[in-house]
Structures are given as structure tokens and as C-alpha cells.
Amino acid sequence: MALEKVTLGKSITNGLRKAMEADPKVVLIGEDIGKLGGVFRITEGLQKDFGEERVIDSPLAESGIVGTAVGMALRGYRPVCEIQFDGFVYPAFDQIVSQVAKMRARSLGALKIPMVIRIPFGGGIGSPEHHSESPEAYFAHTAGLRVVACSNPEDAHWMIRQAVACDDPVIFFEPKRRYHDRAEYDTAAASAPRGLFEANVIRQGTDVTLVGYGPVVKTMIESAAAAEAEGTSIEVIDLRSLSPLPIDTIVSSVRKTGRLVVVHEASSFLGMASEISAQVTEQCFYELEAPVIRVGGANIPYPPSRMEEEFLPDLDRILDGVDRALAY
């Protein structure tokens, strides 16, 4: 037992370190990750400790980085790519969709692509478009990819280790505005608290189910606390895995509460909430007391930083969603 208070960012660093210690085939590759330690310092110190051949500084070439990782994965390595910002992943889109996602199926399972693509995502840090985006639905829509998002330090630590250990390609979303959030957990624990593709019921409740992932989870927890003061009991689910979608956890909760609000920063239009809404409606039609409510971004390019507070789902918008669900 070693209870420590660690930031989310440092938890990923420690998780990567553990993965690299456990398996010499784990190699990191990305822009500025070695000498500089990454733009968010997530890989800080790793090149010094593991050398330039395991923490590889690459040029500005996202397609090259991801494609190179595919080649390495085909040869038994477990590459972990860092994409600096969410909006920088698009040059690698062809490699991710056409190569990373399809190799296994195309070869009838003969090939595996055990690689991770780490992407800091979401807004709230005062950055403009390309630096504040939530592109997760593009990847969740692509068969052959695993897509996960962590929301707290302990999960970040374990989920990155599990993602590296996974034999499928994992798109790993990191909530960049939560990098500095701290939490206390047992950093010497022998096993993960839960599987990589399982949702986590963070808070039990009876009136409304709130589902989200990544940066909005903290806001959902705050919203549930505020609602409790007003007598509303909210169940909070951290989705964690976007693909595969742990729909059973949501369905069980909705069968209990009869109401569902899904939250994310990405545009509500064809976002994860749309899929969750459809599946829950199909499975819980007779248990639902209200339509599934989506609380997400508007269908616009990410707004200028001075206006991002209007764009992001905050406590008020989440509680407004809850009220709308309760109004039925």
C-alpha cells in the first residue's frame, strides 16, 4: 500500500514508465516527447531514463508517426504515439482509418496491431480551435479501433497501462484541462480496479442517470452534488470506454432511474450521446420516463477562447439537462 496524491498527468507518466519497465518492446514516439518531455510534459524524464531509442523524438509528421508505429507493431513492438493536440490528429487520419483499424480484419486475425495513440483532448484551457477539440466520435465510428477516455488520476494510471497491454490499437483520450487535477490512490496496487472497457458507476442515484467521459466527469460529479442539495438523486457513470461501448451499465442504471442525460464537449450532432441515446431507447423504451437528453457542444468549429465557457457543458447546462429530463 502506497497512498499518494498524484496529478492525472503524472499518473499517465508513471503508467507509461511501468509499462516500459515491464516490456522492453514498449516504445514511445512523437513530436517533442523526448528532450522536451512533451508539450504537456507527460513523457518528462522518460527519454533520460530509457534512452533515445525507446523515447523517440519525431519530426512534425503525424501520418509518418502513426504509420511508423504500425510497422513497428507488425514486428512485435508496442508503440505508443503521442499526438500533441486533438486537432493535430487529422493528418494521421488516413493511417488510423485505413491501416491501423483494418489490418487485423483484413488479414483474418493473422496480424495484430498493439499500439496506442495518445491524444490530449477537450477545451477549457483558453486555447483556440485545433487545440481544444473533441474528435472521439470519428474514431469510435471506425471498426477495428478501441477508444477510451480517462477522467481521474487513478484511472489514467491504470488505463494507459491496460491500453499498452491491449493487443488491439487503442485511441487514448486524455482530458487536458484535468492534467493538473490531483487525487490520492494506492500507486503500488497490484491490479487495476476495473477492466479497460468497463464503465464506472461513480455515484449511486435514483432519479436521473448522468453519463459522460473525460473532462466532463468532474463537472457531472459537481452537478450531482449540487442537485442533491435540491433533493434530486443523480446516478453518475463515467463511461471510460467509447468503443466498445459498455452499454449494459447504462441500461441497468436507466432501468432504475428512468431518465438519462448524456454529456460531452463534442458537438451533440452525431456525437457519442446520439449513439447512446439510440441504444438506450431501443433497450429501455418502456422504462424511460423522458427522452434521452444530450448536453454537448454546438455544431460549430471550436469557438474563440474568450467564449469557450459558453460552449462547454458546465454545471448549469448539465443541471438544465437534468431539469428537462425531470420535467416529463
Partner 1 sequence: MTRELFLELFTGLLREMIRIRRFEEKCVELYSATKIRGFLHLCIGEEAVAVGVVGALSEDDAVVSTYREHGHALARGVPMPSIMAEMFGKATGCSGGRGGSMHLFDASRRFYGGNAIVAGGMPVAVGLALADHLSDDRAVTVCLFGDGAFAEGEFHESANLAALWNLPVLFCCENNRYAMGTALAREHASTDLAMRAAAYGMVAWTVDGMDVIAVREATDRALEYVRDSGKPCFLELRTYRFRAHSMYDPDRYRDKSEIATWKKSDPIPALEAKLVSDGLMTPAEVERWRAGVEAEVDAEIAAAVESADAAPLEPVEDLLRHVTTEAADGVALLAGGRST
Q: If you search the block for the grid coordinates 469557438, which residue do you land on?
A: 303
Alpha-carbon torsion (199, 202, 205, 208), positive or negative: negative
Is 141 among the catalytic positions? Answer: no
Nearer Cβ to partner 1 (8/66): 66
Distance CA 63, CA 76 (A): 20
Question: Looking at 143-151, 216-224, 273-281, 302-310, which segment touches partner 1 (CB under 8 A)?
Answer: 143-151
- 3-state secondary structure (DSSP) of residue 201: strand
- The active-site residue out of 130, 131, 180, 264 is 131
Distance CA 96, CA 89 (A): 9
Among 30, 67, 120, 212, binds partner 1 (CB under 8 A): 67
How many residues lie near partner 1 (CB under 8 A)?
57
Question: Looking at 6-14, 128-136, 163-171, 272-280, which segment touches partner 1 (CB under 8 A)?
Answer: 163-171
The least CB distance from residue 247 to partner 1, in Å, is 14
Nearer Cβ to partner 1 (126/193): 193
Q: Is 168 in the site for partner 1 (CB under 8 A)?
A: yes
Q: Is 71 in the site for partner 1 (CB under 8 A)?
A: yes
Residue 165 phi, psi (nearest 5): -75, -15
> How many CB atoms are located within 10 Å of the residue 98 CB?
12
List of residues 6+ apart from 309 with CB closer than 8 A: none
Q: Answer for the pair 266, 134: CB distance below 8 angstroms, yes or no.
A: yes
The least CB distance from residue 267 to partner 1, in Å, is 26
Question: Looking at 1-9, 173-181, 190-198, 312-320, which segment touches partner 1 (CB under 8 A)?
Answer: 190-198
The least CB distance from residue 142 to partner 1, in Å, is 10
- For the chain, the residue count is 328
Q: Is 73 in the site for partner 1 (CB under 8 A)?
A: yes
DSSP structural state of residue 289: S
Q: Is 184 in the site for partner 1 (CB under 8 A)?
A: no
Nearer Cβ to partner 1 (237/312): 237
The least CB distance from residue 65 to partner 1, in Å, is 8
* Per-residue binding letters, 25-64, with partner 1 (x by CB under 8 A): --x-------------------------x----xx-x-xx
Start-to-end CA span in the chain (Å): 48
Q: Is 77 in the site for partner 1 (CB under 8 A)?
A: yes
Distance CA 280, CA 283 (A): 5
Among 1, 2, 3, 108, binds partner 1 (CB under 8 A): 108
Distance CA 302, CA 107 (A): 38
Distance CA 240, CA 170 (A): 13
Three-class DSSP labels, 96-109: HHHHHCCHHHHCCC
Among 167, 186, 248, 282, binds partner 1 (CB under 8 A): 167
With b meaning 16 or more CB within 10 Å and e meaning fewer, what string describes 259-277? bbbbbbbbbbeebbbbbbb
What is the binding site for partner 1 (CB under 8 A)?
Answer: 27, 53, 58-59, 61, 63-77, 79, 91, 94-95, 98-99, 104-112, 143-144, 146, 158, 161-162, 165-168, 190-198, 200, 241, 244
Residues annotated catalytic, as ranges: 131
